Every structure is written in structure tokens, then in C-alpha cells.
Structure 1
Amino acid sequence: MIISRFMLAVLFPSLFMTISVCLGDDTIFANESLSADQTIVSAGGVFELGFFKPGKPSNYYIGIWYKQVTPRIVVWVANREKPVLDRFSSELKISNGSLVLFNESKIQIWSTNRSFTSSPAVKAVLLDSGNLVLKDGSNSSKPLWQSFDHPTNTWLAGSKFGYNKRTKTKNILTSWKNSEDPAPGLFSLKLDPNDNSYVILWNRSRRYWTTGSWNGRIFALVPEMNRRKNYNFNFVTNENESYFTYFDDNSSSTTVSRVVMDVSGQMNQPYLGPTGWTVIWSFPRQQCQVYALCGTFGSCNENSLPFCNCLKGFEPKSQTDWDLKDYSGGCIRKTKLQCGSENPANGKRDRFLEMSRMSLPENMEYVPVDSMVDCESTCLKNCSCTAYAYDKECSIWTGDLINLQQLGEGDTSGRTLYVRLAESELPRPKRKKRITIGVVTGSSAGLVVLIGLIVFLISRRRRQIAGTRKALGDSLVVFGYKDLQQVTKNFSEKLGGGSFGSVFKGTLPDSTIVAVKKLEGVVQGEKQFRTEVSTIGNIQHVNLVRLRGFCSQGTQRLLVYDFMSEGSLAARLFHPNNSYVLDWKTRYQIALGIARGLLYLHEKCRDCIIHCDIKPENVLLDVEFCPKVADFGLAKLVGREFSRVLTTMRGTIGYLAPEWITGVAITSKADVYSYGMMLFELASGKRNSEQIESDGKLIYFPSMASTIVIQGGDVLSIVDGRLDGNADREEIERLCKVGCWCIQDDEAHRPSMGQVVQMLEGIIEVNLPPVPRYLHFFDDDEENVMFFAE
């Protein structure tokens, strides 16, 4: 009679436990199987493989976990989409040269899918690296299959994570559905072979975070990776594959760290220290940057715990999932809508919940209406409309709202969103009984008040500038041309000029000083110009110059900005008077502020805004020397072709990215290049166009500065001599390294402005960059210099 392991386990459990321990080596041979509580353990006792139950009753999986870590941390799962219900009658074994999992009904539910000759030499071995390897004992130099090629949610040290160019296959990390269900969740990490960038996706398709292109160079993606002395991270790309890998240089600590695609939608690296697991970095850094984290009708708030909450009038679709921190199911309405009926039978109608400082969801539709009242009415009449927003134009949303975020008090990019709810979910508006009684019983007094109000309005109107008006609910003022002539005293006090026009000083009737820019070469029509200006007017950031208003009258196009009392950065940097010299601390904060402003334009606006003309003249300073980027959005507003911009911009050598000359497409990396060149001017206090004599040759200053930094020379020799050496050496090195990365010849090698901010803040370490070859074009070459300076 044949007695199965299952029968042994039921009849003699103590005997079965003894058998389990005896089989607990690191290998499954062709004539063995693993079931019930049996496990195999790697040779060094680091990892263990067997059946485990993450949370749900009677759902078991084959997985690999840390042997010595409590509570259990699973790093790989075989049958994550098909659990078995009975671990005693299910078994993992080698069949026909593959490693196969059979369930309690002896049906194959998972396999390595590798068919070989049924050789008794085939075996599965669990290594101390956490890699489960299928080998042919007669030829074990190359594995037949390995779990490292098929990661689940965890990337372990020593494994490759990337793209195989020959087989067209890629590694993908996919989050667990929740903390108790290893089934694939909504968030995944993969390598994009088109530009060698690592991207995090929602629902396998929506990209919401990326490293940017690697192309063989590491921009210090995470500071902790480089700072922890035990780790060695490498990116490799060749004709066969592109991949990222990391190693733990301390062989005795192979269990201490892993990289995880978490259920939170963030990629992170937990580290096992004396007090337990600690997450030492995560990307995206802010939880609410994870796309659709809170599901439909859920709102994310960085300042609350948990981050996700349902909108008023909604509740979690599955409270059980929310308790497990799985918010992907989102929220559902508590009360059904009246579906747009203006006069429903029960006398009720839908109303709107006002939500301020919201990051608006995607997939909006624009509706041509004349007022906010019309916008609300349009949404109310549409049964599918669930929300609207009004800001000089009407935007409505139909169907579910997704990717909502409540912004903080200081974030000026938020908008007001009106979410449709059943009337019973909102408090009743107060009745204006007092007004009604006052009108009926005090008509005489009301008439006096009305006359007084009319007189007041007439008087106020006379004091205003003729033709000036302010849009309802908006701060952007529309000026008449004659008004601005009066404000600027017929444009008599010129502050300066640039690529897009001349700037004049003006004073409004309330004594507010403004800067009025007369645009040149505008080719847009009235409607398009107003649309673009409205977009610029909505962009507000502490490091961007605020647009107060505009004029569009006939052929005249003017913009009215806040006046910056300290003038331009150029005036401060290059002024011969030593009393104007900026100290090093102020210069470094200016560099950081400019970077933050550009980051906002590139990544935080609804559409990426490329400045196209970054230089010290277009950076203004307020009374506290806070930098504010000016003229953003004007490249699109003016509508010039890039060739004309190039003609006007080449007047100042040192800011043009190579792609302006080569004619390739212009991206935000052109701004990064210009910004990097400006960093050298912040350090030196000299124009980049000024050449320095060295060993009888004229050397282009950025070329000299980058060479000094990279070769370990005296960085203080780079700094403006007027500072008398009063500068932070570490900050000088960091600033110049960042500048060198920003001006790399290939835009793919330049960091994003987000990475620049992190580098300057000291959050991420800055590796030594190569000297850009393009810089040497200007060394000791008078003809080339004259071409760009003319």
C-alpha cells in the first residue's frame, strides 16, 4: 500500500514535522516534491521557500522569504494570481524538466514553462541571494530558469532589472494588491527601452513617475544608494540588454535591504537595522504624486493620515480594502443624484460642493459659456456631469473623478472645484429673510441706501483708470492702452529690454509700482492671445514673477507685472560697483530659487512650459533678494519660430543649448542647459562670454571651471574675486558639478530641474560629470566667439 505525504501528515503529524526538517536543504530534486509545511532553505540560511498564507483563510502560495526575519517578509511569489486551497495535498515538484505547482486536484496552476528532457539530473536550488534556480546537474554552468528573471514586487541585490533586447522581454515589478493579497496590484515599475528610463505606471499604462533617461550615466537617482557604503549600483547597456543592478559589498549583510514596488504606489528601499525595517528612500517622494492612489471620488492630502479620504457625500466602496490600505476601489455616493432634473417630483435638486485648493482631475471638457452661473447650469442639465470649475472659461467633468488632490495652504496652483452632490448631502442655504423684511418695511431707508450706493459707485468709477476692469473672481486686470500710457507717463521710464520686448516702469492709481512690457512681434489674434495670457496669469509661484494684467487693443499687446525693486540678476552680478556685490549665501539661494521656479514651469503646470530664454536678465530680485523668473510663457505667446528666437538670443554667448544650432526638437532640457550656464556666472560674477588667458591660450570660463572641479583643482579660484574667498567650498563644488551636468552635449545626459533642485538641496549626491565637448568649441577661437557675440 502506498501512503501519501498528505496521509502521513494527517495520521502522524509529529512524524511529518520530522520529515519536513529532514528535507529542509536548499534543493528539490527530480524525484522529490514539496508540500504542506515543508520548506527548503538556502545554504547559508538566508532565504526559505515553501507554502505561506499572507492573510486570507485557505489561500496558500509558494513564495520565498527571509529565513531569520520576523514578521515574515516575502520577496517572491510563484502563483500570485492562483492560490491553492489545501497546502497538504498541493505539491511543488519537477515534472518533465520544469518546476511545476499542482493544486489539491492535481491540476497544474504554475510552471517555469521550460520543457527539457526528463533528466533525473534536473533540480531546483535556492541560493543565498534569494534566487531560485532550475539547473541541469550534468551542465550547471548556466541556469535553465531563475526567479531573478521573473520578479514579483521585490528587486533583490545581485539581480538584473531591465530589458533584454534579443528576446524583447523586460523585468517588471508589480505591487501586491494589498498587504494580505499578493495578486498583482495597480502599480508597476519597468525600464522603458526607448530612452532607457525607469518608469512607474498605474494600471500598466499611465506613467506618473520616471527617472529620466539614463543612457549609461547615473545622475545619483537616490542619495541613499550612493551614500551607503555597502551598496554598489550600476547601470549597463549594450547590444544585448540594458539593465540596472546593485550589490551589497558586505557579504555578511545580504539580507538587510531590498527594493520594493509597494502597495502605496511608491518604489522604495527598506533597510533592516537594529530596530527593524526602515524605508531609507521612496519615489515619488510625495505620496500624493502617485496617480489615482485614492481611486474614484477619493482625494489625496499630504497633510493628513491616512493620505486618502472620500469626498463629502461619498464613502469607501470597500471598507475592508481601505483598512488594508488598498484605496484603489475608490468611493461611491451615499445618496443618488437627481440626474439633472430642474424640477424633480420630490422638489429636490442636485447642488454643488465647493472645494478650494484642489489639483484638478484630468479629462476635462471645455464648454463655451459667458459666466460661472451658465457653467453651473450646463453641468446641472447634463446627467453625466459630476463636477465643474470656472476660471474665465468653463470646464466640466463627466463620469468618475479620479486623481484628486487637496493642496496645502501655501500652494497657489490649486483651483476651486465644484463637485455635484444630492441636495440632502449639503446644508440648506440661509434664507435672506432680513433683506426681504427690510425691503418691505423700510422702503424709504432702502431708497436712501440705494442712492448712496449709486453715488459711491460713480465716485469710485471716476477714480479708477478709464477702461480698466477686473474679471469676476479673478485678479487678472484688463487695461486699455491709454490707461497704460498714463500709468507709464507715455512709456518714458524704460527699465530694460529683452528678446520679447521693452519694459517700462509705471505707477497705478493706488500708488502700486508695476513693470509694463510692450511685446514685439505678436502674431496671435485677440482670442488666442487672451487665452494664453489667462494661462500665464494662473501660474503663481514664489519664484515666478506675478502677472497682474494685460492689454490687447488693436495691434498693441502689453503685459503688466509686479515691480521688482532690486532689478535683474544681471544688474547685480555684473555691476562694477562693489556695493552691489551679492554674497555667496545669497547667490546659492538665488540658484536654488531659480531652479524651483523652472521646476514648477516644467513639471507642475498643466502643460509643460519651456522658457526658451533663461539668462540673468530674465531673473528679477525682490526686496529680500528672492529670485523670480520673468518672461515665462512668452515664447509661445509671441509665437516666434525657433529660428527667430535663435537670432535674438545669440546676442549673449553662453546660454544656447547645442540643439538650438543643430536644429533638433527643443525640449525643457534646453532650459536646463541655459540654467547650467547661468550657474557659472553666479559663481564667477563674470559673463560666460569673457574668455580667460591660461598658458597663453584664451579659455572659455565654463570650460575652465568644469576642468578645475573634475580634476580636483582649487574651486575657490572659480569664485568671484570680489567675495574675497568668503564662500562655502562644498557648495561651490556642488554648484559647479550641477552646472556641468546641466550643460552636457546630449540633452539625455542632463538632469531634470527636479533632480537639479534635489542636488542643490543636498538631498542627492552629485557625481563627477565629464567636461562637455561643446564648451571647447569656444576655447581660443576668436572667430567662433565673434559669431555668437555679434
Structure 2
Amino acid sequence: MGALVTHASSVQYMRLESDGHLRLYEWGGTGWNRLGDVLNVFPDECQYPTVCGEYGICSNGQCSCPSVKKDATFFRQVNERQPDLGCSLVTPLSCQSNQKHTFLPLNNISYFNYIDPDAVAIEHTNEEICKQACLMNCSCKAALFQYGGNSSDGSCYLPSQIFSLKSHDPDIYHFNSSAYVKVQAAQTVPTPGTPQTLQKKSVGAGVIVGFSIGALFAVSVVTGFVIVLIRRRKARELDEEDQFDKVQGITSRFSFEELKIATENFCQKIGGGGFGSVFEGTLSDGTIVAVKRLDGVGQGKKEFLAEVETIGSIHHVNLVRLIGFCAEKSYRLLVYEYMCNGSLDNWIFHRMQDNTLGWQIRRRIITDIAKGLAYLHEECRQKIAHLDIKPQNILLDNDFNAKVSDFGLSRFIDRDQAEVITRMRGTPGYLAPEWLTSIITEKADVYSYGVVIMEIICGRKNLDYTQKEEDFHLMSLLQVKVDENRLSDMIDNHSEDMQQHVSEIIEIMKLAMWCLQSECNKRPSMSAVVKVLEGSLSVESNIDYNFSNTDPLVWHNVNIDTSAPLVPSILSGPR
């Protein structure tokens, strides 16, 4: 972006256009000439979310409308001369006539990678359940289903608005993708003289009797339905509680009343984030704990179970210890060891001005995080990708030893599995570029770790809007300082101790840059990172220093829609 603007020979301007491109134009004397795409974050034209307008299908850069089904035409082009303007429904969807909703199946079709953050998502499901879920939700405009090798264990997305679709080649992306677009079936209107019309005329006085019987029948059906729902809900709650009975590795399961007493009715709040609030408490044996109470249980149930299963089965000095949990009726609480110095962000972003950390403590924290992640990636029975590494999820004990926390977004990866397909998750500013493909490995954590190293060294956030415009994105600033050979300018100047270790700090910055490589296979493993920090391995010398576009989601979030950040961690926050 900077290169296009800096060397301007005349007036330039940028425009975010309807197809999703942010293009740069320059005055050429007689008119405006297009210089190029400022963002250029997608590998091909079809990746842009509005390249073919609403409902348009992009294939090899060409736009078309969804095809017909049984000789019925459901879509027309908005403008036949401009197919990239998209398509419209011939018969608009009507919630009043939702019994007429059906699907137009589109095989080998996928959606653009910025999944609507408000869309309903169902993991580990099959195609039929996905379709039925969309039919039952009037705001759902399509059932988008993706799966790898097992069609009964896929991901379902139910967006409330459809932008451009795109053709999908399973041989290239190594997963299958289908779209079922919701359409309105044609209504059948009876004409005078037909048997339907004659039948209506013969109803006569029987209408009142029919209505009375129908009303009694409807009341009976509704009553029975409510009873069934109540029974099913109770059975589901019991099933969910049974799920937690089978969780291995948890030493304690608490009742809600026990935790209410331990926290003195949740009176001392020490942190919170997403759907949870964190309270200090004291167990009956005198152990001080941090109790996290989920506020939005309906939205965080899956993440709660993921955290219990993940952290409950592993033990490492650099991973926060889960003492126990509560899963009683609708209550969901997690009980952790108490970390008296809170989360790392409180210390490195200068919220505690009188307690600025020196270099040796920061270096130990960097090493502790690396050891914790190395254990998750390489020493567990299954690889565990954390997927939300950031300072808010790094906790510090009394001696400033660091421990990784918040496993609500983590994913297990089998040892013989090179990668997984998953919905975009994490926090903007820490997301690796491969999230654009939804195909990730544990190396996504390595990228996030590189960002955290830079934040620890620089004493500022990766995305800091209090900085002047050219400095608000730390990764872009890093590239500038590399080009100018002025990395020392980035070292936190709030600490005199930091200024006394410039040479050592710059070596750690080079390690961070190795972790920040845009190609995941060029990043080191976390065990290699530990070896570098311990002095038994050198940093890779062949490093790509182009960091300005290594997190395209940052640019998407800043330039396009800052009011709707993408999928934040729902279990984040200091404990």
C-alpha cells in the first residue's frame, strides 16, 4: 500500500468498489488511470466477497446466476449486460409462506472466506441436519455445508445474507463443499370452476363446526408439543451433564452452591471477557481460586466442553491448571488456579505504569509461552492447536512465570493429520494468513506467538489506534524498520532496563520475524523456538521481511467494517 502511494507523480485517490477491491487511481492528465489493487489479499478474483454481486456464482473470473431446478427459474440477472452486478430472486422469500421454502442444490460451490460473524454455525453435523436447520430458520438464506473425508462430520453455515458464491474444486482444496440456496416455490392458485373452488362452496354451515373441532384439536396438539419439549429439554440437560461425567483428568466437580459460597455470591470480580466473568474465590480447604462463570451458556456450551476436555487432560508448568468445573442444569463454571499477577496485557501495554517489566522478566515470559505451546503441539497424545494466543490469554503467577490459558477455541489434530478445516476463530491482529483458506495447522499458533513477542518487546498492541496513522499496525511498522535497519527504534522506551539489552532484544525480534512468515511451512516449530531461546539453535537466515500483508484480516477489519470484528474468542479475559 505504501509503495503505491509514496512514489506518486500526481494526484491519487483510493476507492472501495462494489466488487470488494480497494483500488488506487492516479490522474493522468486527461483522465484517471487505475494503478492497481491496494489490498490484493486474495489469490484469485473469485475470493472477493462481492465480485459477482448477491447470489452470483464466480467461476474462473466469470459470473453467472444459479441454474434452474426442474424447469423452474428462481433467479434472474440484475443487469444482463453486467453479470457482475449479481442476481435476484424471481419470487422473493416470504416468512408468511415458509411452508413453500425449498432448496436449489448447488454442488461443488463454496462461499467466500469471511463467513458472516452473525451466521449460525453448526460443527460436526451432516448435510441433512444442516438443510433442516436452515428451513426452520426464516432468516437463513442458504445451507452451506463443508466436510473433509467424512460427510457425517462436517461444518454447516447458515448465513442471513448471500453475497457471491464461487465454484469449488475438491481436488485443490482437499474438502467438499455444497450450497443449498433457499428459494420460494411457486404458489398454486385455484381458478373458478375447478374442484377446489366447488369444494369451498359446499362447506356452508359446516364451517363453524369444523373450526370448533379444529380449534380443540390444535389446543391438544400444542399442549402435547409443549409437554414433549419440556421432557426433551430435561433429557438434554441430563445428557449434557452425563457428557461431563465422562471427561477424564478432572480432579474435582463442584456444585453451583459450593462455588457460590466460595466466591461469596460472586462478589469480587477480577476479570472478564466474551461470555464469561471471573471471580476470586476460596475453596473449603483454603485454596484461593479463580472461578469463571459463563454468562451466555447457549452460545458457549461447545467451547466450555472443549476447554474442560482440553486443559483437563494435560498438565504442564506453563499451562494454567484447571482445578475443576461445574455443569449443573444451566450453570457452567470453570475453576482455575489463581494467578495473582493477572494477564500479560496489563503489564506490557502500560496499564500499570509503576510496574514496567524489565528485559529478563520479559524474556522469561517469552520462553515460558514457547514451552507451553511446544508441549501442546508436540508432547500430547494428539496435537493441540490453541488458536487464540494473545497477551490476554497469558497469565502470570507471583514470580512472573507465564502460563497459557483459555482453551475454548482449541482444536485437536491427530498425529497423522497434517491440517484441519475449521471455521475462522481467534482474534483479529493475531490471525495467520492461512485463515483465509480455513485450512490450518498448529503453525497458526506460531504466527500468533510471533505477534505476541513483538508486543512484549515494543510494549504496545499490534493494532493500536492511538498511534499516528502510519504506525497503528505494528507489523507494517516492523517492515519499515527492517528496511531502514532501525529495529532498535521499536524497543519499549518506558523501561530503562530494556535499553541496556538492545543487541539481545534484536536477536529475539529476528526470532519473532521467523515466526511471522506468511507461508506456514517456513515458520519454525515451537520446539525449535525453545532451542533458539535456550541458545542451542540459530534463527533461520533466509527470512521474508514482507510483513505488511501477513494479516489480511487486519486490513479487512480496519478499512471495511470496523464495527463488526471477526469471531472474537468467547472465553477470553484475565483470570
- Bigger relative contact order (CA 8 A; separation at least 6): 2
- TM-score normalised by length of structure 2: 0.48
Richer in strand (by share): 1
Richer in helix (by share): 2
